[in-house]
Structure 1
Amino acid sequence: MRNRLFPLLAGVLLALAALLPWTAGGAAAADTGLDEAARALRQGPVYVDPGARDQLSRSEQNALAERIRDADRPVFVAVLPEDDRFPAANLLSDLRSRTGITGVYAVRLGDGFDAGADSSVMSNRAVDNLVRSVEPPGGRDAAGQLDDFVDGALQQARGDAPASWGGASRDATIVGALVTIGMLLVVAAIGAFLVSSRRRRRQEAQEQAALRKLRVVVDEDITAFGEELDRLDFHPGEPGADDAMRADYTRALDGYDGAKAAMAAARHPDDVRAVTRALDDGRHALAALAARRAGKPPPERRPPCFFDPRHGPSTTDARWAPPGGAERTVPVCAADAARLADGEEPAGRTVETARGRVPYWEAGPAYGPWAGGYFAAYGGGLLPGLLVGTMLGSMLTTPAYADTDGFGGDFSGGDVSGSDFDSGDFGGFDGGGGFGGGDGGFGGGDF
């Protein structure tokens, strides 16, 4: 919902037109449980089957739906009883097909839970990680599980909520009336414009607060790299210096100057990616220069040290586990590799939070762009894999992060796409509490 009155009007009318065939034949055909759920999800983001009302109360349902509407993201939630009307096999893809709207779909079936998404809205990896994060061993209550899933999905999903959530009725007569009322939607569009303006101002204020946090950390990184350059005992004209060394030195200086210029031009948190990417390039140039001066070949291009990118490029990989988390392999500098081998804590980068100074991976999503600039060039799945189970990790699994360019991207979603989506693109992850079934597991994947 941008400042686009005519696209908004057109979207509403298209959505109403798409609803007509569903409602026109609805009275004549016998509904299945999924038909009822799909029809309800076209009208609003949360559906609770009457047989599953003990899982989620009316007030909890309304609160969850309101949060999704406020966020303006195409996130759909269905709470269903475990009975013959809802066979587990292919349940998620069948629900998506019958609803016919691009988005993220989460289903609580009895005590089981799983989710899937159209690839244009959220990647397979993002859905898998998010499902895993809300499925602790032993299960949990529906309200808490759905709250946590929706929190993560609203952070990561691309696109806008469907226009049909504006309140179209399930009764064919009322739908026809709404089509007529659509001629008056220009007035409603003006109201929507005012609401979106307030939302935009609120979002801009939040972005500026996040940028102020990042500026402190990035300025420390730029200063540290500048001090490295000051300590560097190299002159382009010194005896033994060759063109390759001079090129490395120039790249290091360009990285420093580029980082300063990018930070001065930063207006949004995502702009910080360019700063840390420039610093990473500069530090690799310094490592190459040091190797050439020692008569060695330049080192391979590796990610920065996971614990603190100011340590420079990593030299090896080591096993490490955050407190209470699973062990994983992380790229580390030589000094941190030695600390881990001796059973000591690595020299992790800490940042200031309301809870005091904590490691950056426990500081929340504000530091995603900072970390993404350092690590995105080494593969979109690297950093989320390193950070799985941490506060920052769940925020770095967006489809945009999976691009080698970082967090940018062309957002889409929430559109009425019919039922001809490619269900063969749906992954087969079975997330612990998943439903199982004939398709090898009802799991988070791409439609």
Structure 2
Amino acid sequence: MCTDPSHRSGPQRAPAARRLRTALAVGASAVALLLGAAAPGAAAENPRSPGQKIADALRRSPVYVDPSLSTAVDAAQQRSLVTQIERTGLPIRVALVPLVEGDNWGGKPEQLAEVLHDRMGGGPSILITLGGSPDDIAASEWPAGAHQAFHAAAAVFFQDDMKGAGPARRVARAISIIKAGNGDAVYEKATASLGSSTEKPDKGVRPDKAAGSSGSPLIRLLSLVVGPLLLLAAAGLLLRRRARLRDLSTPFALPRSVFAAARRADEAGLRERATEEVVRLGEEARAAQGDPAAVERALDAYAAAGTVLDRARGTVDLAGVFALIAEGRAALSTAPVTLPLCFFHPLHGPAVRRIPWRPLGRREQLRVAACESCLRAVRSRRAPEVLTDRLDDRPVPYFEVPAEHSLWAATGYGSLLSGDGDCLARRVQRGDFTRTLD
């Protein structure tokens, strides 16, 4: 409460002062209303943000269903899921929230899960959400792999008896697999037949559109109605919102717009973009203040990317530059798990999931990292779009070039590396790239 004596003088206050306070109150209300409309993401600063509301609901019940999905998952189905979860004795939570690009979670189930896990205080947990595509569910787990939850949820999509099943049945199946603890094996069985398609590559998959931007007329209206001082306050809130969104995203990640532009560019344009990103990686690595070992790995990737860029003979090698840049930025990232670029076509951008895949005409099955469009193609038994190289003067998928003649075929741009310190930068340092140029 304000203790200024003028606030206790009642009817004796001057009319001018009363009008001034009324005007300020109206202005403040206008700011609140306009900011609410112009910048919904500013709610991240509010303890009752969308993520906090869902987390609070999950503390009361292990199943949360957004009101927009109440007809898809009715009250009886919710109660059934709650009972099933309680019987498992596992820290399972289900948050069924529609995911669309541009929402509070960037349309990404893993980001929604990370936010909820943080809001609920961390610790061992399994969070089941809707997936990144229709009729799909996803699961995130802390600590990772403890109950094979990731593959348990992913396997449901491929099971024949789940075709056309609603989200409640899919979630129930995932919970059963998680309880059994054999999600990896179930996933392998459900996807064993993938990758054997003989169809031609699908031409209908379009690159992701670069996100556009436009000025908000409400912000302009705000400046006219409320005045410069209140506009500065609004700008401050928007900046805090932007900082919050940066905190929720993976730092140093290559924007999707970079890959969208790279796919549209000719070789000269692609080389120019690769040069810009190599320089940017070097700047980020030198400015980083994190783990010295991680910074050293980023600098190694930067040096290797420069080596490949200097001697790149075409798009296949330039794609390798981008793969090395992604490897360097992954070293600087705080994300617990990072995937390489898409195995099938690195210029599609970062992969979203690892999947089993069997090359046409071969018996061995590989586990490769795939982007969203290639993942959809493989799931629907279509051949994904692939980056091509030349072999005996004819175009072939780059991975069909003998490994001794192509570092990229040998490593799948990072997908086929064994781990345990094995990385693209190390391969380049020991001469694997320059040796294939001879």
TM score, norm. by length of structure 2: 0.30
TM-score by length of 1: 0.29
Q: Which structure would you say has the larger RCO, counting Cα contacts within 8 Å and 6 or more residues apart?
A: 1
